[in-house]
Amino acid sequence: MSALLGSGVLALWLDVAPELDEEADHWYIDEHMPERLDIGGYLRARRYEAVEGVPQYLTMFEAATPAALASDGYLRLVKKISAQSQHIRAGFSNVARNTFRVRVSRGRGLGAAMLSIRLHVTGSAAGSLMAMDEAAPRLLRQPGIVGVHWLEAAPEVRAEMDKVRVTGVNDAIVEHVLLVEAARAVDAQRALDRVLSAAELARMGWSADTRATYNLLYEVSGPPADAASVLGDRQ
């Protein structure tokens, strides 16, 4: 059983200006994450804070397919953003964002920690991808590991978003990311060191651009069956 809810993921890594940190938390909880789930197409959103490494925050949205990430509702949202959103986004830095298709996702349930490794190919693209397809699931055999998710960029979906979005067009691009979901941050770090050390990654044709471990701050699921009443309450 896959711990992810579909084959499409929108992921963002960023830092927030310290003076906006508390305000940004409220914005994510009250506006940003709920509105993206309420439009339909998005199934779950999660936000994490770094306990080791950078950037400071990781946010990920899950959808049934990569194409569903660029739903009509989402494209309408990013054409015009609220004044509060503009205020908060002005405090973002070191932003990396992309749309992804899931190559491998194994596990069950949600872990309290997520290790993010942003990777680029140094060897044969086809061979490196196949090697990681085979290696990533082995992390599940390590103590404390809840899920393993191996993602590759879906640039055609991001291109659809960037055609209409007001802000974020110049966000840095991540091509491949390995996410190791664990009960504790230390579990994810130990699993990676045992199974996919820097030397092993190099042998497989990969190099890590960034490596950071995050604790889960909060999770929001899609609207319930009676979505109309929920949306009415928010208006």
Question: Is 166 among the domain residues?
Answer: yes
Question: Is 1 among the domain residues?
Answer: no
Question: Is 172 among the domain residues?
Answer: yes
What single-letter amino acid sits at 184? R
Cα 79–chain centre separation: 22
Question: Is 201 among the domain residues?
Answer: yes
- What pLDDT, on the 0 to 100 scale, is given for residue 39? 87
138: containing domain: 8-234
- What pLDDT, on the 0 to 100 scale, is given for residue 149? 98
Question: Is 224 among the domain residues?
Answer: yes
**What is the distance between the alpha carbons of residues 218 and 216, in angstroms, rounded to a whole number?**
6
Number of domains in the chain: 1
Question: Is 227 among the domain residues?
Answer: yes
Question: Is 223 among the domain residues?
Answer: yes
Question: Is 3 among the domain residues?
Answer: no
Give start and end residues of each alpha helix (H) in the chain: 21-27, 33-38, 72-79, 83-89, 125-135, 155-162, 185-195, 198-204, 227-234
In the DSSP assignment, the letter for residue 31 is I
Mean pLDDT by 10 residues, the chain (235 residues): 86 98 96 91 96 97 96 92 93 98 93 97 95 96 97 98 94 97 96 95 96 96 52 37
- The set of residues, in sequence order, having a beta carbon less than 8 Å from that of 74 and lying 6+ positions away, is 36, 39, 41, 42, 161
The CATH number for 56's domain is 3.30.70.100
Q: Give the residue from 219, 169, 167, 231 showing the smallest Cα distance to 35.
A: 231
Q: What's the pTM value of the predicted model, to 2 decimals?
A: 0.92
